[in-house]
Structure 1
Amino acid sequence: MDQRVKPSPEEIRRAREENPKMRERDLSAQLGISEAELVAAHCGIGAVRVEPRVNDLLTGLEAVGEVMALTRNESAVHEKIGIYDKVVTGNHNAMVLGENIDLRIFPKVWAHGFAVEKRDGDEIRRSLQFFDAAGEAVHKVHLKPASSLYAYQKLVASLESSNQEPTVAIFPSAAEAGGEGQASVALIDDLRDRWSRLTDVHQFFGMLKTLKLSRREAVRMVGQDYAWLLDNDAVSAMFHHAAAGGMPIMCFVGNRGCIQIHSGPIKSVKPMGPWINVLDETFHLHLRTDHIHEVWALRKPTKDGHVTSLEAYDANGSMIIQFFGKRHEGEGEREDWRFLAENLPRIPSPTAA
């Protein structure tokens, strides 16, 4: 965010009227504001502020029926059409474990919410949009023709905030950590020992936290028997191979407040400029390949044998997107996925020390 004087709500609405086709994320960047501020400016004029009570939201969404769930970060947009069912509520972690909509949610990150109505020709497009304290989008729910408008309106009314001011207080997120320091031999040995003793992929985050390492730091220093660097085109190659072979994959896209997962085959892979797109019936993915700085393949031990993932990182070291072969707890890894991951083009890895 730059240091310009921020536009008033009236100026924001005027800019929206003058740029009706521009995406909200792009328009807010052009105005030097967050996306939450752009939406808030329309409170009372197409937007209603709602409280980001995640548990109430999730339990209320099932009655709305078929919707489109959208989770994104700076470089990838993940869209799934389905129903919010098999909800697991929680104050620190919440989940949706439906057949099509599969989410891991961190409710404390959700700071602002809005119910938005936007006219598009003769149609009114309705959505619920949620943002973190910095005004960055964490999750959106878009109504579809099959959605229950009655259930949606009832849910919005139950979440409606008493504060309908057209502004929001924004607290910029902490800056990314600086450059990665040189790793000691002892730290590398400790990392390799802990990595070798993993029995579940969900233990990985705890290991990083214990060692005070970022994900990419660990990946870079653990050694090529556990992590190896791939050509940046590896993600596109994987998409095309998986689509051609009907291979079911798991695709994770997330931000600080939400991770969204697709599990299943992909069919329609369409490159367009810097984007590679998956355009299937209930799954759309839009990935900026020009934002990919590094792609790594990781091998993690589990009690069911090792599993292999692909992870793409941006220039700041943040993970953009992650892939596994589709599997369930207690199952071994698919041989076709492992073969594909292990045979994507490699490049020499940077040394950790």
Structure 2
Amino acid sequence: MAPQDDSYPGVSYVMPVLNEVDYVAGAVSAILRQEYPGAQQLILALGPSTDGTTELVEQLLRDDPRVTFVYNPETHIPVGMNLAVRASEHPIIVRVDAHSELSAGYTLRAVQTLQRTGAANVGGLMNGQGRTPFQSAVARAYNSKFGLGGGAYHSGRAEGPAESAYLGVFRREVLLDVGLYDESLRRGEDWELNLRIRAAGHRVWFDPELTVTYWPRENWRKLARQFFTTGVWRAELVRRYRTKNPWRFFAPPLLVLAVPVAVIVLALQLTGVLSGLLGVIASLVYLAPVAYLLLVVWVSFVREPGETVRDRLIFLIVLPTMHLSWGAGFLRGILRGGRDTLDTSRSAG
């Protein structure tokens, strides 16, 4: 890090950590390499990990006095974030996840953008990356407009005001004024927080010059769990905030509903229950799933530099997993709410 210059506002990095033994060292290293002139501290909100993360964090604490921690026995991200923010010392809060790595110059650029725009929160691009063919396929989906619905921080657009921000670099006083993260949520806490920030009259800002490397889930089971849980909690947010949610969030659950309806119609047609003009009209239900299948195949086999046929086949599995898991979770959440649904993709198993 650069020598400290007190003319720059101090920053506190806050990071929730649970079962991240393969990623937390990289995330911490990227923070400690930031060449930011102001004072800095890193607060890890450490959950009760079972994969060796706690022991690794203890070593990181010994290696650098700028690293400290708060214990988060409840494991939930919003709870850990609030504990870390309350323990922070500086006027700028930089949120970081253990599955992410800040790019060089991230902090300085973000603070300059805060000052230049007067925003309360700024964020940039999520740059998905993979270490294995499966993880690389998930990363490609994260970076695709088709994969996650076209949010600015996934696919990018011009700098300007935004609905939400990936991770986020905040003015601490604004976080405290709006009541910090909603601890009743288990996913979607960032979107909900940014909604309250904007409702309070502040600005959320997207700066495409800010980039963060994100390492997605490593296998199919964890990916499906993650997206199912995300869908459940997005539905909970729809229940709470109704029309304030973007329309794109309703596409995956409608697709999930269309698939069984199409199967039922096909069975009725094959058995002769639906025939004639009524059968022709009923065939319209095939349009959505067939169009989706063709689109997935087309997107999967668009050539990317360095991709093999195997990579594209994996991507062909990854996309429907993300969309259908999210949609199924959304339908459950609409019917039952979030309740006690947890993101078990963060477990060690």
Q: From the two aligned structures, give the one with the greater helix fraction.
A: 2
Q: Under TM normalisation by the shorter chain, which class is it?
A: under 0.3
Q: From the two aligned structures, give the one with the greater strand fraction.
A: 1
TM-score of the pair, normalised by structure 1: 0.25
TM-score of the pair, normalised by structure 2: 0.25
